[in-house]
């Protein structure tokens, strides 16, 4: 892991911001109302929630007092998230890999549920199983950063998208996850050609590489038809 420049928010500081936002939302307090309660300037507060600078310990106590909770509520989940991230270094999916998998899962869900808001749906699904995810956590997940999500939150998101938690966790896909990824690829190819109604799983439980070859062939055939005069 690279060293964070002095003064810039590090991974723990980022996790603390997520914990603050989560507890603020859980308490039903708007950001402007929280700022008024704390006496912190709006510019100071927003600069830190935008991760341009970190909150200090005094800030945490002030914000906790304003919400009527203990600073422990911010620190413990933030430390847990940080430790999980450090433990997963070297085996977790790189940012670009996770972002691609999240993008594919979201694209397929959206194709199957046209007109529905995926963020609203996934937030409700996660909230029914474990701690609610914040908009910031969701945005980071889509950008390929799952470091601030709990194991239960990742599991709930995976269940929502009909994949395993390791599909969103690990760099190397296991046999089950590789098959799921290939199935998603072939179904997205059917989406691209307007043939999603064809159940991709009925094309055969073949080897993932074979399914991806079929997906590629579907897309190639579609491109060929579009290029015909």
Average pLDDT, the chain: 80
Residue that wins the pLDDT comparison between 208 and 48: 48
Q: How many CB atoms lie within 10 A of CB 83?
A: 12
pLDDT for 174 equals: 76
pLDDT in tens, 71-116: 988 888 777 776 666 655 545 778 899 999 999 999 999 988 989 9
| Closest C-alpha to 181, from 160, 204, 211, 155 | 211
Res. 228: pLDDT tops 60? no
Token pair, residue 9, equals 């928010």
Token pair, residue 8, equals 């810039």
Buried b (16+ CB within 10 A) or exposed e, 112-135: eeeeeebeeebbeebeeebbebbe
pLDDT for 4 equals: 39
């Amino acid at each position: 892991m690279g060293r964070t420049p002095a003064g810039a928010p590090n991974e723990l500081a980022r996790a603390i911001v997520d914990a603050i936002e989560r507890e603020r939302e859980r308490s039903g307090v708007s950001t402007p109302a929280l700022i008024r309660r704390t006496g912190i300037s709006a510019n100071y507060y927003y600069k830190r929630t935008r991760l341009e600078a970190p909150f200090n310990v005094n800030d945490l106590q002030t914000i906790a007092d304003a919400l009527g909770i203990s600073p422990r509520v911010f620190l413990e989940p933030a430390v847990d998230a940080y430790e999980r991230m450090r433990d997963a270094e070297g085996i977790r999916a790189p940012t670009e890999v996770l972002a691609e998998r999240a993008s594919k899962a979201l694209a397929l869900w959206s194709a199957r549920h046209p007109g529905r808001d995926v963020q609203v749906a996934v937030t409700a699904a996660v909230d029914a199983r474990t701690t609610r995810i914040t908009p910031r956590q969701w945005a980071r997940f889509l950008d390929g950063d799952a470091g601030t999500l709990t194991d239960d939150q990742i599991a709930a998101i995976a269940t929502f998208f009909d994949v395993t938690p390791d599909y969103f966790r690990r760099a190397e896909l296991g046999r089950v996850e590789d098959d799921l990824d290939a199935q998603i690829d072939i179904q997205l190819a059917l989406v691209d050609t307007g043939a999603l109604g064809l159940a991709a799983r009925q094309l055969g439980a073949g080897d993932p590489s074979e399914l991806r070859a079929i997906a590629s062939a579907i897309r190639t055939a579609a491109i060929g038809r579009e290029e015909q005069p």
